[in-house]
A and B are shown apart, each in its own frame.
With several copies, the nearest count.
Chain A
Amino acid sequence: MANMAQAVRMALHYAEEHLGVTDIFGEDVGAPLGGVFTVTQGLKTAWNSPLDERGIIGTAIGIAMAGGRPVAEIQFADYIYNTIDLLKIAGNTCWASHGDWNLPMVVKTPVGSGIRGSIYHSHSFDATATHIPGWKIVIPSNPLDAYGLMISACQELNPVMYLEPKALLRVKGEERIPGEPEDDRQLSKMIDAPLGDRSQWKAQWPQLEAYAVPIGKGKVVREGSQVTVVSYGRTLPLCKKAADELASQGVDAEVIDLRTLWPYDWELIKASIEKTGRVLYVNEDTEVTNFGEHLVRRTVEELFYKLLAPPRLLAGKFVPGIGLADTLEMASVPQQGDITAAIHALAGEQP
């Protein structure tokens, strides 16, 4: 199966061919590198921009204004923080102009920990992004969703923030992308740029098919009755694994992959909590003024009297960065053991 980097690449190819995407650009996005995570290799509209994140976001806005369909990349979410004003503008342009202008643009950026990225290649962006009105925000946790969400993003009339959990980019999927060849090695030969000289190389794209994961729809990845676990991105597979393991200990957890952070699938979450009475939100952004806290607030606002235990949040520690040393990274953001323990504790919690 394709890994997430290949899945996004194929979606972008599909979007160039069928959805009118005109510009896939950012630092080192074009040939020869095709992105620091190989996500944009071989794409015909990919090009290298100056090293200037403000210019990247500004230019994406301009391209969208003039009828283009840009997919702009910020090389790491860690370097997006000098553009928050521009992201806010992209998000308020339709509203501020009373519907006169809309901006069909996608900003994609790798997020999160998991590659020993130290202070500046480990940032999450979900808390900051969800505080900016006017955007739709998605984050896949597997290659098929990554493919389907990118296709939806490229069909949107509004700005879409596409967050790529960098720890998952090289993880292969369990489901095949429609049109993907059977053999992984064949896929790699077709669409992965070769090592060495690439000047003559061209991707051989498989016959890809339309497959859209609708924006705003979460997914129950494991059904359960005792506790609801809501997560996304890097921590989602860890939650799934924890739930699977805990089943043998008599804990039956339902796991929801949110997939879209805004507008999010509250109905799905709500129905699950109404069933279980317990909910754990898991993400890896720092835990103060965290998007999971919004979900906790919504939970107590609407479901307080149905809860059997307090809604819980497991998130990144509120420290200024994720340290390089293994010990530091492990201690800073939720790991498998933390998640398992948190689900276990919540399932058994009694007043």
Chain B
Amino acid sequence: MHDLMVKARVLEERLIQMYKQGHGYFWIGGPGEEAFNVPLGLLMKKGQGPAHDYLHAHYRQSATVLALGEEPIGALRQMKNTATDPYSGGRNFAGHFSRREWNIAPVSSPIEVQYAMAPGTALVQKRHGGDGISIVTGGDAGTAEGDFASCLVWSSRPGNELPLLIIVTNNKWGISTPAETQHGETRVSDRGKAFNIRSKTIDGNDPITAYQELKEAMEYVRKERKPFLMEAMVSRLYGHSSASGANFVGNEVDCLAQFEARLEKHGLLTRQEMDDLRNRYTEEMAAMARQVRDEPLPAPETIWNHIYAERK
């Protein structure tokens, strides 16, 4: 888990670096959410089709995708919008993953629409049987969109409850707007209770808590075939995106630093070991970034590709 957290952090830092060096137009991502996103990926049932888990992800989900086993170079390619970008062929922003083979639905920039779609995959899974579930994630500010409510409504219809894990990663910000100015709810998770959806707010900065809580929630959803609403309190360590500078923010809990302090204290890893790990990843990704830098952009005429799927 620690390894993946480091890997994800280093990946995001590399992406930010690429942006700052002019190797990409825009960065957005998930540094500060690793403690929650890594366990999420580890606990997912990976594979294609309704027997496996679907992920309708937010744009801060790199750690989940790495935990699922994805190679980091894809994210770098997307950052550099090269033709080799495996998620969008150089078309979409960083953090906009998509991998059908693993049921990762394409991340879409419009906030919250994934909450309107997730009931659809969950519905097929309910009918399909087995223990595959759908998972949807998004931010706190986005819950103001009607689609969040739609998700609660559609997943809790009596007799048609859906196996859907509804996640809100609450970093207490929507770009520059503090959550406490916009939310009348005591907790976002309270909104699930009105629908008789099992709901909980957890500390998403602690990977152990996150793992246990996610495990429990997922077991409930898998077995009961009913929705669960989880709010995870997380941090936004580099601000909203490159639009707000992408600089490290001092005053938020850094889940990785906190976890490492604990690991060190309990003698599970030494500072040296952790530094080595980080250095190794840093070098690896720097090398990848150099590789990606020379890869070609998509050709102009490729704009016409994939407008429609065709029968092969």
A and B touch in the complex (CB under 8 A): yes
Chain A residues packing against B (C-beta within 8 Å):
22-23, 27-28, 32-33, 36, 48-55, 57-68, 70, 78-79, 82, 85-86, 89, 93-102, 115-121, 133-134, 136, 157-158, 317, 319-321, 323-328, 330-332
Cβ contact of A50, chosen from B93, B154, B310, cutoff 8 A: B154
Tell me the complex Cα distance, A120–B28, Å.
14
A-chain residues with CB within 8 Å of residue B82 when the two chains form the complex: 325
Are A323 and B119 in contact, with the CB atoms below 8 A?
A: no
Question: Do A118 and B93 have beta carbons less than 8 Å apart?
Answer: yes
CB distance from B145 to the nearest CB of A (A): 5
Is the pair B181, A48 in contact by a Cβ cutoff of 8 Å?
A: yes
Binary A-proximity of B72-101 (CB < 8 A = 1, otherwise 0) = 000000000111010111111100101110
A319 to B307, CA, bound (A): 7
Q: B272 to chain A: which residues have CB within 8 Å? A: none
Query: What's the nearest-Cβ distance from chain B to residue A96, in Å?
Result: 6
Task: Indicate with 1 or 0, residue by residue over B278-312, a CB within 8 angstroms of chain A CB atoms.
Answer: 00000000000000000001111111111111110
| A89/B144 in contact, CB under 8 A | no
Does any Cβ of A come within 8 Å of B263's Cβ?
A: no
B147 within 8 A of A: yes
Contact A54 B300 (CB under 8 A): no
What sequence of 0s and 1s flags, for each residue 122-151 of chain B, a beta carbon within 8 Å of any chain A beta carbon? Answer: 111101000000100000011011110010
Neighbour of A328 across the interface among B90, B116, B117, CB < 8 A: B90
Q: Is the Cβ of B305 less than 8 Å from the Cβ of A99?
A: yes
Question: B157 contacts A50, CB within 8 Å?
Answer: yes
* A58 adjacent to B88 (CB under 8 Å): no
Q: Are B110 and A48 in contact (CB under 8 A)?
A: no
CA distance A102 to B106 in the complex (A): 11
* Further contacts, 10 of them, CB under 8 A, given A50-B153, A68-B124, A100-B106: A28-B174, A51-B144, A58-B147, A59-B116, A60-B120, A93-B106, A118-B91, A120-B93, A158-B309, A331-B303
- Flag if A96 contacts B153 (CB, 8 Å): no
Q: How many residues from B make CB contacts under 8 Å with A? A: 74
Q: In the complex where A85-B113, A98-B91 touch, is A328 in contact with B298 (Cβ < 8 A)?
A: yes
Which residue of chain A has the shortest Cβ distance to B154 in the bound complex? A55
**Least Cβ distance of B157 to chain A in Å?**
7
User: In the bound complex, how far is the Cα of B36 from the Cα of A108, in angstroms?
Assistant: 38
Task: Report chain B residues within 8 Å CB of A49.
Answer: 154, 182
**Complex contacts, A325 vs chain B, CB 8 Å:** 81-83, 90-91, 297-298
8 contacts between A and B (CB under 8 A): A50-B157, A55-B154, A58-B120, A62-B122, A66-B121, A98-B306, A100-B98, A119-B91
Sorted from nearest, which 7 A-B pairs have the closest CB atoms?
Answer: A62-B120, A58-B116, A102-B309, A98-B89, A120-B109, A331-B300, A66-B124
Cβ of B47: which chain A residues have Cβ within 8 Å of it?
A: none
B301 x A331 contact (CB < 8 A)? yes
Of B119, B123, B302, B311, most A-chain CB atoms within 10 Å: B123
B117 touches A61 (CB 8 A): yes
B108 / chain A contacts, CB cutoff of 8 Å: 89, 93, 96, 120
